[in-house]
Structure 1
Amino acid sequence: MKRCLIIGFLCLFYQGFTQTVPETFKKKVDSLVTAAPEGYSPLHSVLRSHRRDTVLMRYFANASDAAQYIDGHAYALNELGRNYRNLSQFSRSIELHKRALDLAAENDNLEFRVSSLNNLGVVYRRTSSIRTAMDYNQQALELAESVENPSRSIKRSINVSVNCIGNLYQMLNQHDRAIAYFEKSLQLETELNNLLGQAVNSQNIGECKEELGDLTGALKDYRTSLALNEKIDNDMGRVICNNAIAKIYIKQDNPQEAIELLQHALPKAQKLGDGFLIAPVFINLGWSKLLLKKYTEAEKNMLQGLKIAEEKSLISEASQANRLLSELNKEQRNFEKALTYNLKAEELQEQILNTSTVRYVNDIMFRYDSQKRSNEIEVLAKEKEIVELNLRKKNTTLLISAIVLALLAGIFYILYRQYQLKNEKKLLTLEQSMLRSQMNPHFLFNSLNSIKLYIINNEQKNAVHYLNKFSKLVRKILEASSLREIPLAEELETVELYMNIENIRFSNEIDFEIKISDEIDPHTVKIPSLILQPFLENALWHGLSSKTGEKKIVLNVRKASDENFIHISITDNGIGRMASEEIKQSKVLKRKSVGIDITKERLSNFSRDYLNSFNLQILDLYTEDGKPEGTKVLLHIPIV
């Protein structure tokens, strides 16, 4: 009754403040404050979708504070702190996390204490305050590991602590030790099936491999992380991964491809508003343009990145920007400015990597490892006593265990066979759907109708020519549909036949060109069958059908920087996806395109079967003044 009166008072007291808060959220908060669940998980399950809204979290914080619901207040403060951290407002973030830590200590809630400590460690790491960050993350790890039967939330906190310590070693250029922590965290996140945690650790491992000179290994880890971020629709992860991949392209002397990725990532980073994401993108853009000797543009991008890094106290990014500005001025023979920037870069790097900090971190971890070993010895002694007791019962339980194992093996085999049959059925369904999309009735009818017009107009030569092509295309589609992989040459021949026939309906206005790099033999390279036609169809009917003037599609095949992969790009100069979508929405009859969705799912199945990464990107192309000038499809395919 007393809690209900408090809630009623809150509704009056915060009436002016809550005018922008939806009534549904107010009711949700009233229910939470009344029920007052303990711990992180029940709160997070209700508020997960609202945690990035600072207005709603502030309302919940005030409501929990007034009702003296300490767990709710601590949760809201931590989420507010995370939001301000992602906006690079680090002082405000630290203040909120410290208030949450005090509340958790007051309420003796271990989950929120560990969460607050880890959050503080992340904020201080962002500002390169390594010693302070290590103190907080180490406290969080020791506290979480003290729990005998940890909940899922505590296990996640342990993984975060291990990852944070790995990040600190990475900042100290101790990359082998950092990789050991990241791999441990990755294993734990995999056990919890936490895709975000797996993505973060894969990215971190890639960064360490990059610093150790293993660019191929780093690129593989970045692409693994990107695939996981795509799966969970995480824009922040996309920006980080694309920036990292672009950096590899820069180091592989491929700045133009790096610029394409960075320009694609920049709007997403700016929309998120996190200087931690925006600054590196600008800095790497400047680096790419420096390699292309576009000095004015390079300097502009570097200075933009440096300004953001300095405003947000991002010391590592500021050091990188100063180093690149020094190189730029050296190439322009501005040696005085080059020296100034270089000295500033060294000063900032020294601030991160000073000897006392390295020694301090190593001492903390040595003490922690020693204490942990002592605890493990005590645990092993107790376990030995338990084992000796259990050995007396072993003979009587051995037979039962064997029977149970046999039953489990039989059950697992049945489940495995069911899984295999389910996958085979799914694959068959996909192949049938793929064949139906290739043999689209509208396409068949329209193609035959076009050939019929040639016959009616007594153009027998054209009619016979296109009828031969049409029959050859149908035969090739039927033959390829029964195969999982076909030579690249056959796939290219099939799409060329398709384009020739479709071009009849466009009055031969489409300029279709296939380019193949000299180092690729299309007869020996194999790719999944019938994967290119859906993208060409999409370019024709969504990109070029509503366009006036020159209409062009270019299919380009070249070797990737990784020798085990090829790049296939399909570029059209159509109206772009945004304009196409507007035209589609205005139509009464909307044609649903399923070919690309089926192709994506087929590539996903190939990834599982061959343990390879089939990456697909669709990029919007723009002119220098920001006007759409077509679409580019990028396929990154392993050589089978």
Structure 2
Amino acid sequence: MAQTNKDSIFNESIMHSRLIKLKNYSSIDSVFSSFKNDSIKMKTLASRASENKYPEVECYALISVGNIYRNVSNYETSINILKKAEKIADSINNVELKVVSLNMLGVVYRRIDLIRPALDYHKRALDIASSFKNPSAELKHSVAVSQNSLGNIYLTLEQYDLAISLFTKSLKIEEESNNILGLAINNQNIGYAQEAMGNLDIALKHFELSLDYNTQINSDIGLVICYNSIGKIYTKQNRLKEAEIILEKALQKSLIINDKYYIATSYINFGSNLNELKQYKASENYLLKALEISNQYGLKSFIIESHEALSNLYNNTKQFEKALFHYKSAIDFEKTLTSKINIQYANDIILQYEDEVKNNQIKALAEENELVKLKLNRNQKIFWFTLLGLIILAIILFSVNRTRQLNNEKQILTLEQDMLRSQMNPHFIFNSLNSIKLYIINNEKENAVYYLNKFSKFIRKILIASTEKEMSLEDELETMQLYMNIENIRFSNAIDFKINVEESINTASIKVPSLILQPFLENALWHGLSSKNDEKNIVLNVYKTSDDFVTISITDNGIGRKEAERINKDKVLKRKSVGINITKARLANFSKRYTTDYKITIEDLYNDTKKPIGTKVIVNIPTRSNALKTA
């Protein structure tokens, strides 16, 4: 009787769609959402809509059918149906349906580890949805889906900071619309990124939050995912019995759902945990099942994971021939995932190149230092022969003064070497090139060329700075603008950076130590703004309050020094910086030729409720030389 009533409601819904001619995704979903997981009804709806020339309803139905085939691991059929839906949406110029179909195609390609088409479809969906100034609720949701999916791709590319940034943006949209499913998914994905970065406790909190959301909406797939994630964390924390209980729950629920993707991952996680518990026979049984399903449905990542887990199991049971076989199988099959291997290879090449460049420059500086020493030694000999008749006191005074100069020049060379090492940070250069590489992968040629030009100009200025102890303030500000343009790529251009110069100041005539402002901007970026989710601003002001020095202030609206220090302590991988100490030493040496000393002041900014609202760094650089004072 219940089924008869449901069929009756469905037939009435079809008639309802005829009467009001539903046009957008939200209105169609409000009528048919309770049926969209029923393949028979959705196929019927697609057929009726096609016959009666309701392309919007037909497109909605095809998207639902495509998702159903994806969830039973029939990926080829899913792709064909979703492409048909996308084609219909394109022909009727329905933006909402087009964006949804593009996102769903991206999800399928991610399931089968085809990163390039997945990236392409999600990026197209995001570009279209983001192009509207006043988007509908569904387009806002589609933006969140695209950002979440791109974040998952960045996870695959091991770009964890970028992934978390996109998940956080998606999470904010889902919070505004109170979409519990979206909140569950994004917290789950943030947990994946934190786990990959070694922050297991933070990851566990996000997984548990996701579990709470999935429990609220009674999402069986969501519960399977959360159980597996929490179980893996327990295993890594050596809480093996707790892991066994929750992973068994994940396995049983995945078998009921009958989604091969989640069955395979549940077998792998449960089998790996049993291996740690030394239940080797049961572990082997589950891992072999995982391998069989993964091969049958072309789940490439799970094939590799299954072989690796089996190799570990057979190694523990001293079946070394089998262990070697599965190890080689994992390695051989991983070679088929060329996207990941090529990326890793490119990363290694970039690192090797940057190390070589850095080492060559340091070597060149060392050779230059040695030449200076040789020249000085030669001059000393000439001096002794020339001034042999001078009194002993004069010789001693000259030697003391000369030694002091040598120590000073050696200190300068050491500081310049340290400065160059800091600026030519391989991690910064690698991430910059990798971000540009992602523009190339996305086929964003204009952005790639634009940022590559910026990057090349910045590197050229660093190399020029390595040969000069100081530069004009005008060149320094231009270099900092280039630096911020490049760093802003990793923040999805979310940072608003401004430079304000007082009109009375001639920046071309003021000399400052080369690249002196970069460490302060780097601190503002990575300690002040990187952990902040909303608006991010940095303002650099140049002004004068005295004729003796020029004042430069750098103000950010970040989380403040205390919060940044607390976050850094909690991280497994801590970001270290010695740039400020090097900067102070260089400013101290620079100030010796001027009437006033340099001064650096750091102010913590608070609002009326004493809540941190950022940090302000004030640097006073002397401009009146000793020669002017004498005059």
Instruction: Report the TM range for the smaller structure's normalisation.
Output: 0.5 to 0.7
**Equivalent residue number for residue 226 of structure 1:** 211
Query: Alignment partner of 1:73: what SS?
Result: helix
| Cα separation, 2, equivalents of 1:368 and 1:229 | 40
| Cα separation, 2, equivalents of 1:168 and 1:324 | 24
| Cα separation, 1, equivalents of 2:98 and 2:331 | 37
**Equivalent residue number for residue 9 of structure 1:** none
Query: Alignment partner of 1:88: what SS?
Result: coil
Asked if the contact 1:270–1:278 (Cα under 8 Å) also holds between the matched residues in 2, the reply is: yes
**Equivalent residue number for residue 29 of structure 2:** 44
| Cα separation, 1, equivalents of 2:99 and 2:135 | 12
Query: Alignment partner of 1:353: what SS?
Result: helix
**Equivalent residue number for residue 118 of structure 1:** 103
**Equivalent residue number for residue 340 of structure 2:** 353
Asked if the contact 2:157–2:343 (Cα under 8 Å) also holds between the matched residues in 1, the reply is: no
Return the TM-score normalized by structure 1. 0.54
Asked if the contact 1:209–1:215 (Cα under 8 Å) also holds between the matched residues in 2, the reply is: yes
**Aligned runs of 1:170-569 on 2, under 5 Å?**
170-350=155-335, 351=337, 353-355=340-342, 361-364=438-441, 367=444, 370=447
When residues 58 and 19 of structure 1 are mapped into structure 2, their CA distance, relative to the original with a 3 A threshold, is farther
Aligned amino acid, residue 340 of structure 2:
L
Aligned amino acid, residue 353 of structure 1:
K
Aligned amino acid, residue 66 of structure 1:
E
Asked if the contact 2:439–2:447 (Cα under 8 Å) also holds between the matched residues in 1, the reply is: no
Deviation at 1:365, TM superposition (A): 5.2
Aligned amino acid, residue 355 of structure 1:
N
Deviation at 1:28, TM superposition (A): 1.4
| Cα separation, 2, equivalents of 1:348 and 1:280 | 18
Asked if the contact 1:279–1:309 (Cα under 8 Å) also holds between the matched residues in 2, the reply is: yes
Aligned amino acid, residue 59 of structure 1:
T
State the Cα deviation string for residues 405-434 of structure 1 (Å, max 9, x = none): xxxxxxxxxxxxxxxxxxxxxxxxxxxxxx
State the Cα deviation string for residues 519-539 of structure 1 (Å, max 9, x = none): xxxxxxxxxxxxxxxxxxxxx
Aligned amino acid, residue 327 of structure 1:
N
Q: Which residue, 103, 106, 112 being the options, matches 2:88?
A: 103
State the Cα deviation string for residues 559-579 of structure 1 (Å, max 9, x = none): xxx9xxxxxxxxxxxxxxxxx
| Cα separation, 2, equivalents of 1:20 and 1:275 | 31
**Equivalent residue number for residue 64 of structure 1:** 49
Structure 1 portions without partners, runs of 5+ = 1-17, 381-561, 563-640
When residues 152 and 347 of structure 1 are mapped into structure 2, their CA distance, relative to the original with a 3 A threshold, is farther
Asked if the contact 2:36–2:42 (Cα under 8 Å) also holds between the matched residues in 1, the reply is: yes
Q: Find out whether 1:144 has 2:221 as its counterpart.
A: no
Aligned amino acid, residue 28 of structure 1:
S
**Equivalent residue number for residue 157 of structure 1:** 142
Query: Alignment partner of 1:271: what SS?
Result: helix
What number of residue pairs does the alignment pair up?
A: 361
| Cα separation, 2, equivalents of 1:219 and 1:148 | 37
Larger radius of gyration: 2
Deviation at 1:83, TM superposition (A): 0.9
Deviation at 1:84, TM superposition (A): 1.0
Deviation at 1:166, TM superposition (A): 0.5
| Cα separation, 1, equivalents of 2:291 and 2:4 | 40
Asked if the contact 1:134–1:361 (Cα under 8 Å) also holds between the matched residues in 2, the reply is: no
State the Cα deviation string for residues 475-520 of structure 1 (Å, max 9, x = none): xxxxxxxxxxxxxxxxxxxxxxxxxxxxxxxxxxxxxxxxxxxxxx
Aligned amino acid, residue 338 of structure 1:
A
- The alignment-based identity, stated in percent, is 36
**Aligned runs of 1:584-595 on 2, under 5 Å?**
none
Deviation at 1:348, TM superposition (A): 3.6
**Equivalent residue number for residue 89 of structure 1:** 74
When residues 290 and 362 of structure 1 are mapped into structure 2, their CA distance, relative to the original with a 3 A threshold, is farther
Deviation at 1:362, TM superposition (A): 4.8
Aligned amino acid, residue 97 of structure 1:
L
Q: Which residue, 10, 18, 25 being the options, matches 1:33?
A: 18
Asked if the contact 2:89–2:98 (Cα under 8 Å) also holds between the matched residues in 1, the reply is: yes
Asked if the contact 2:160–2:193 (Cα under 8 Å) also holds between the matched residues in 1, the reply is: yes
Query: Alignment partner of 1:226: what SS?
Result: helix
Deviation at 1:369, TM superposition (A): 9.4
**Equivalent residue number for residue 118 of structure 2:** 133
Task: Compute the RMSD of aligned alpha carbons.
Answer: 2.6
State the Cα deviation string for residues 543-565 of structure 1 (Å, max 9, x = none): xxxxxxxxxxxxxxxxxxx9xxx
| Cα separation, 1, equivalents of 2:329 and 2:438 | 25
| Cα separation, 1, equivalents of 2:5 and 2:341 | 49
| Cα separation, 1, equivalents of 2:29 and 2:95 | 16
Deviation at 1:104, TM superposition (A): 0.5
Aligned amino acid, residue 287 of structure 1:
S
Asked if the contact 1:316–1:348 (Cα under 8 Å) also holds between the matched residues in 2, the reply is: no
Structure 2 portions without partners, runs of 5+ = 347-433, 452-484, 486-491, 497-569, 571-631
Query: Alignment partner of 2:444: what SS?
Result: helix
Deviation at 1:220, TM superposition (A): 0.6
**Equivalent residue number for residue 583 of structure 1:** none
**Equivalent residue number for residue 485 of structure 1:** none
When residues 368 and 54 of structure 1 are mapped into structure 2, their CA distance, relative to the original with a 3 A threshold, is farther
Aligned amino acid, residue 189 of structure 1:
E
**Equivalent residue number for residue 402 of structure 1:** none
Query: Alignment partner of 1:306: what SS?
Result: helix
| Cα separation, 2, equivalents of 1:281 and 1:130 | 23
Query: Alignment partner of 1:293: what SS?
Result: coil
| Cα separation, 1, equivalents of 2:445 and 2:23 | 30
Query: Alignment partner of 2:132: what SS?
Result: coil
**Equivalent residue number for residue 11 of structure 1:** none
Asked if the contact 1:64–1:73 (Cα under 8 Å) also holds between the matched residues in 2, the reply is: yes
When residues 348 and 217 of structure 1 are mapped into structure 2, their CA distance, relative to the original with a 3 A threshold, is farther
**Equivalent residue number for residue 583 of structure 2:** none
| Cα separation, 2, equivalents of 1:369 and 1:190 | 34
Query: Alignment partner of 1:198: what SS?
Result: helix
Aligned amino acid, residue 444 of structure 2:
R
**Equivalent residue number for residue 64 of structure 2:** 79
Deviation at 1:332, TM superposition (A): 2.1
State the Cα deviation string for residues 273-314 of structure 1 (Å, max 9, x = none): 111211111111111111111111111011111212222222
Query: Alignment partner of 1:354: what SS?
Result: helix
State the Cα deviation string for residues 54-105 of structure 1 (Å, max 9, x = none): 1111111010010111000000000011111111111111011000011011
Asked if the contact 2:116–2:441 (Cα under 8 Å) also holds between the matched residues in 1, the reply is: no
Query: Alignment partner of 1:38: what SS?
Result: coil
| Cα separation, 2, equivalents of 1:80 and 1:37 | 19
